[in-house]
Amino acid sequence: MGQHLLTLAFVLSIVNFAVFLELFRKQKNNYMFFTFVAIVVSCFGHWLLGFSESVDGAILSNKINYLGSAFLPMLMFFTLAEVCRLRILPVLRILLIVFSCFVLFLSFTVGYSDIYYKTVEFVVQSGAGNYVATYGWGHDVFNVMIILYAVLDIGVIVHACMMRRFVSLKNIFAMFMLELVTVSSFFISRHMENDMLCMPFVYLADQVFLLYISLNVKWYDIARSVMQSLEKDNGNAFVSFTSTGEYLGCNEIALKFFPKLAQCRVDLPIPSGHEMGDLFKPLLEQAVNTRLRHALKFWYANRHFRCTARIIPVWNVMQICLFRIEDDTKVQMYVDMLGKDHNQLVKVVEQNAQAVSAIQEQMIVGMANMVESRDGNTGGHIKRTSQVIRILASEMRKDMAYSQTDSFYDALISAAPMHDLGKIAIDDEILRKPGRFTDSEFAQMKTHAEKGAVIVENLLSGIEDPFFVQLSKNVANFHHERFDGTGYPLGLKGDAIPVEARIMAVADVYDALVSSRCYKDSMSYDKAGEIILAGMGTQFDPTLQKYFMDCEAKLREYYRTVEH
């Protein structure tokens, strides 16, 4: 019976680890990953111990167990600190690692010295192999380590509960239960001399708590990374909620505009009686129910604000609502001063419409930058390709025979940052791979074009002009089509490829050639130009050859001014 239970525990630990890898492959908390590894190793050691048939086999199995259990308390402490966003001093981190290594060394002396175990006797308990030992001073060091980390963990939990309002209460409760179950079970089972069967299932409970914590952390990481991406280079407030009303956090500017947000706890809804609840609950309801396609305006603390929202799907049953709030007081006061002056009022309305459009564009560019921040291979690609498009368009505008309007070129320049937006739907392990893709990986990477078109349509439909929406979709969907029909996703050929996508293809490939990547060096401008010109008629639209040649000197001049 005992061997069956140990086998079940070992298999379940692997299953939990696989679930973690599948659901949280983008998780940045490396300590969480190594904690799961340590638990699997410990469960493996217990499983081997259960099937051992001699004292030598029991000693070897126990040493494998200590490969995980000697580091598990330290890794769990690092994990809790990471979840609570507490910085551990490098010196302390090194000391704790050395201490855990020392405990592991002591455990490895079993069979050679009486430092850790004075005596070891092989026994069979509950149908499984085990051992009975008398402890030496080295084992007392292990117990001290357990108590030390229990104290540190409780300190982290108490600090997070008392001082860190942005740490999820659900996570704090889960961390407390994890600590309580682990430490109490260890000492109780050790006292009952049955820890060989009990501890693997305690480790399984730890994995479940860690999976739950990981799920919560993922929510807040997504909300925080989106806010950081969108708030770059502007002075607007960002506040985020789940679609069911739980507060996820805000940036520093939001705290200046709405200081009482500092009283709100992440992971909980803002109470209806709270001033911030009365302010944001109606906004959230409108955002979730109507997608808030038009900016809302409201007064608060003698300031006038304009609020737009973006719904970000994360799971099928949950979404994040991100509010972008701009201080519009000066404009509103100006409108009030105008009174009944209709002409001036119309002018202000037009300016506001342009401002809303600029906000929309800024949010899109922010999302594109967030995609690029995930792709370690293409840093700065969005900015550079946008500038290449601008330079190409400036040459094409001069040719009256090329039947495109200024509004077309303006729209193309605005749409350029969205060409790779579909990469937000590509897994990190593929997107960040430093080298060539396998056939399967490349097939997944190619889906970013079609996914990008869908994202662009969802972002812009009903807000932007239909012409701009369609042009932006075409840029995202078809910039990897080839003029000879061998591209993707549809294998379009010649004039069947929208002209905006044909122009985008030249800019995209040129930047890839002259820019350095983690897997290649940058190519010389002469060589890159030769490749582009050689591809005219096969990869690229040959009618673009003239314009590329006319602006090639400007392209070189631009790239010399930027870092690759």
507-561 pLDDT tens trace: 999 988 888 765 567 788 889 899 999 999 999 999 999 999 999 999 998 888 8
Confidence of residue 64 (pLDDT cuts 50, 70, 90): very high
Tell me how far apart the alpha carbons of residues 482 and 497 are, in angstroms, rounded to a whole number.
8
Measured CA to CA, the distance from residue 91 to residue 515 in angstroms comes to 39
Neighbours of 133 (CB within 10 A): 17
Cα 262 to Cα 298: distance, rounded to the nearest angstrom: 21
| pLDDT at 504 exceeding the cut of 70 | yes
User: Model confidence over 120-147: pLDDT tens digits?
Assistant: 888 888 788 888 889 899 999 998 998 8
φ/ψ of residue 493, rounded to 5: -130, 140
Q: What is the CATH number of domain 233-338?
A: 3.30.450.20
Q: Return the bridge partners of 208, or none.
A: none
Confidence of residue 487 (pLDDT cuts 50, 70, 90): very high
pLDDT at residue number 295: 75
Write down the domain spans for the chain.
2-215, 233-338, 356-560
Given a cut of 50, is residue 233 above it in pLDDT? no
Q: Residue 3, exposed/middle/buried by CB under 10 A (0-12, 13-18, 19+)?
A: middle
Convert the pLDDT of each residue in 292-332 to its tens digit. Answer: 556 788 888 888 898 888 777 665 556 778 888 888 888 77
From the candidate CATH numbers 1.20.1740.10, 2.60.40.10, 1.10.3210.10, 1.10.3720.10, the one assigned to the domain spanning 356-560: 1.10.3210.10
Region 474-482: mean pLDDT is: 92
Confidence bin at 364 (pLDDT 50/70/90): low
Fold for the domain defined by 2-215:
Rhopdopsin 7-helix transmembrane proteins (1.20.1070)
Candidates 273, 226, 232; CA nearest to 250 is 226
- Tokens 């060989």 appear where? 196
pLDDT band at 428 (very low <50, low <70, confident <90, very high): low
Which percentage of the chain shows pLDDT scores above 70? 79
Give me the pLDDT at residue 376, please: 45
